[in-house]
């Protein structure tokens, strides 16, 4: 996990300041994994131990996976690289014109197909949950979630599935009403891809 964090730092993917996250929460750290993913060798190196964790879980019978799905936009590269390393098909879900997560571009899933959802960063798991709803409605079974960075706050409700992470990072994760940086008058920036308002 330390190597993953070091590669995030080297790539300029770990930012510090005052950020409005896609979840609507505030933080003093932001992970712009696109900065990591611009270096394919670094992306492969960060996801290799994660792929090994999943391989081991599959080998032990603890996890079944037929394909990897990534919520757009952050999960696309992570899902494809993880799928490549696992030798599995990979595809992505994306938002339609109304902002609802959907499966488009001719991607399909079959009833009973075991899907691992892969994101770049998990704060609340909202994107994974939205992808899961779409895939389950098509008959797929979600068996696990994976991510590059698990930045969930301590005490956060567990996800509905096992979580595999390349690294776990402790970063401030405030409800906007409790944000320490807002109280100090520090302006927040929103570098993420999801528009919440």
pLDDT single digits (tens) 129-159: 999 999 999 999 999 999 999 988 777 778 8
Look at residue 197 and tell me if it is in a domain: no
- Name, in order, each residue with C-beta under 8 angstroms of 197's C-beta and a sequence gap of 6 or more: none
pLDDT of residue 190: 87
Q: Which residues pair with 118 in a beta bridge?
A: 146
Answer whether residue 161 is part of any domain: yes
**Which of 18-22, 29-33, 67-71, 153-157 is the least confident region?**
153-157
- The string of pLDDT tens digits covering residues 80-113 is 999 999 999 999 999 988 888 988 998 889 999 9
Cα(27)–Cα(18) distance, integer angstroms: 6
Q: Report the CATH number that the domain containing residue 160 is assigned in CATH.
A: 3.40.50.2020
Is residue 74 assigned to a domain? yes
Whether 78 is covered by a domain: the verdict is: yes
Instruction: Look at the chain and report how many structural domains it folds into.
Output: 1
List CB contacts of 106: < 8 A, sequence separation 6 or more: none
Matching residue, tokens 């505030």: 26
- Determine, yes or no, domain membership for 99: yes
What is the pTM for the complete model shown?
0.87
Structure tokens at 170: 């402790």
Identify the domain containing residue 16 by its residue range: 2-176
Within a domain: residue 98? yes
> Does residue 117 belong to any structural domain of this protein?
yes
Q: Tell me, yes or no, whether 79 lies in a domain.
A: yes
Structure tokens, 96: 């339609």
């Amino acid at each position: 996990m330390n190597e993953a964090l070091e590669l995030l730092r080297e790539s300029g993917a770990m930012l510090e300041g005052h950020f409005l996250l896609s979840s609507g929460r505030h933080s003093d750290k932001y992970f712009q994994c696109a900065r990591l993913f611009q270096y394919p060798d670094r992306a492969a190196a960060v996801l290799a131990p994660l792929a090994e964790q999943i391989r081991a879980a599959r080998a032990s019978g603890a996890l079944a996976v037929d394909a990897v799905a990534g919520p757009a936009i952050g999960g696309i590269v992570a899902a494809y690289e993880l799928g490549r390393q696992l030798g599995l098909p990979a595809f992505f879900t994306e938002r339609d014109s109304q902002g609802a997560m959907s499966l488009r571009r001719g991607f399909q899933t079959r009833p009973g197909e075991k899907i691992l959802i892969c994101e770049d960063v998990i704060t609340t798991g909202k994107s994974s949950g939205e992808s899961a709803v779409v895939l389950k409605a098509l008959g797929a079974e979600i068996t696990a979630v994976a991510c590059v960075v698990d930045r969930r706050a301590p005490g956060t409700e567990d996800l509905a599935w096992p979580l595999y992470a390349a690294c776990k990072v402790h970063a401030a994760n405030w409800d906007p009403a409790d944000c320490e940086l807002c109280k100090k008058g520090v302006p927040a920036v929103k570098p993420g891809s999801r528009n919440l308002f």
